[in-house]
Amino acid sequence: MEHRKATIERSTRETQISVSINLDGQGDSEVSTGNGMLDHLIAQLSRHGLIDITLKAQGDLETGWHHLVEDTGICLGRAFREAMGSGAGIHRMGHAIVPLDETLAMVALDLSGRGYAVVNSGLEGQMVETLPGEMVDHLLESFALEAKLNLHVRILDGKNGHHKAEAIFKALAKSLRHALTPDPRNPGRVPSTKGTIDS
């Protein structure tokens, strides 16, 4: 298996972001974005996906959370894709259904090399603590497009916005963990009839 680590830095007039990621980590995270809920969601991705993530993000918060959240998703996705490399020997696809109190979240994904996201979180118009629900959706969409993975997210049941968002990220973490795990029946081979999942 390849050495699956990456570091991405991105600086614009709107945001300054650095991300280091280890796909074969212990689930350790150090996240600082200026938004506690955003930090919490990324920490869930790290802990339950066993992905080490160090992320620092600063931005023009006087305009709202949009730029910071979007660029965080972009950088996290790019780091993820770079760390994944060719994807040789992995399962490639993963899914999870995760409960959190009254909430039930489903995530299915394919590390296909083709970015696409269908997100039905039920968070539109809700505040998730300090983060607008639409920004949770946008984070997922930005991550999927830049990580070049096909992502489907659906809340099967639930009312509380915090529970919905957290359950989604736990399910995303579990799905990624399975998809990235080496497949003992397909060692060293790219899991595609095309021979590549790089693009």
- Architecture per CATH, domain 5-180, reads as 2-Layer Sandwich (3.30)
Please state the rounded mean pLDDT for residues 51-59: 97
15 near 55, Cβ under 8 Å?
A: no
* pTM (2 d.p.): 0.93
pLDDT confidence of residue 190? 66
pLDDT at 193 over 70: no
User: In Å, how far from its chain's centre is CA 32?
Assistant: 16
Nearest C-alpha neighbor of 10 from the set 71, 64, 63, 66: 71
3-state secondary structure at position 150: strand
pLDDT confidence of residue 199? 60
Segments making up each domain of the chain, as ranges: 5-180
pLDDT in tens, 88-99: 788 899 999 999
pLDDT confidence of residue 86? 82
In order, the DSSP letters of 1-64 are ----EEEEEEE-SSEEEEEEEETTS-S-EEEE-S-HHHHHHHHHHHHHHT-EEEEEEEE-GGG-
pLDDT in tens, 147-167: 999 999 999 999 999 999 999
